[in-house]
């Protein structure tokens, strides 16, 4: 017997879960519930893109950001952040360090891709599908160079890599 709720109830249940996840965020930061596909599964743990984006948006030097997942054989997915800079001084390490202060280890982006602008629809919504494709290409390129972004992922339960 399939006891799953109909799709509308699933979206409403997701909104409640996102509200709970956003409870620890600073006052004024709003997290809007999005479809199921916008949650990542990293080392069998759930990471919500909006939660990571809220932390990234607070980082000094970040003008605009978006987070997507890239499939990884060992961890399921890894978190990839796309960032537009306010100024040229922000680095990938600085962004990761900022995220480590507010996020658990598996939610910290393993790759940060800097862009002049993020792809948007005619109504101004970030086109995540385009970013997912670009993230996959960047991930495979780094892996081919011998720099595996997933190598820094720690399994949340055991602390092992």
| Mean pLDDT calculated for residue range 60-69 | 94
pLDDT of 60 higher than 50: yes
Find, among 57, 55, 37, the residue nearest to 46 by Cα: 37
Helix/strand/coil percentages in the chain, nearest 5: 40, 20, 40
pLDDT of 104 higher than 50: yes
pLDDT of 56 higher than 80: yes
pLDDT of 108 higher than 60: yes
- pTM for the model stands at 0.70
In this predicted structure, what is the pLDDT of residue 116? 93
Contact 71, 137 (CB under 8 A): no
Structure tokens that stand for 111 in this block: 């790759």
Q: What average pLDDT does the chain have?
A: 79
Q: Above pLDDT 90, what percent of the chain?
A: 50
Q: How confident is the model at residue 28 (pLDDT cuts 50, 70, 90)?
A: low
């Amino acid at each position: 017997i399939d006891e799953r709720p109909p799709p509308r109830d699933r979206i409403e249940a997701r909104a409640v879960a996102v509200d709970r996840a956003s409870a620890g965020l600073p006052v004024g930061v709003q997290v809007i519930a999005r479809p199921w596909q916008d949650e990542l599964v990293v080392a069998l743990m759930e990471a919500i893109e909006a939660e990571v984006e809220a932390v990234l948006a607070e980082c000094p030097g970040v003008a605009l950001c978006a987070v997507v997942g890239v499939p990884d054989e060992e961890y399921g997915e890894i978190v990839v952040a796309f960032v537009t800079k306010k100024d040229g001084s922000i680095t990938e390490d600085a962004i990761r360090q900022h995220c480590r202060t507010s996020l658990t280890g598996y939610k910290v982006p393993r790759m940060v891709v800097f862009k002049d602008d993020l792809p948007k629809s005619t109504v101004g919504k970030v086109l995540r599908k385009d970013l997912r494709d670009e993230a996959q290409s960047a991930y495979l390129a780094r892996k081919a160079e011998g720099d595996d972004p997933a190598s820094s992922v720690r399994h949340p339960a055991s602390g092992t890599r």
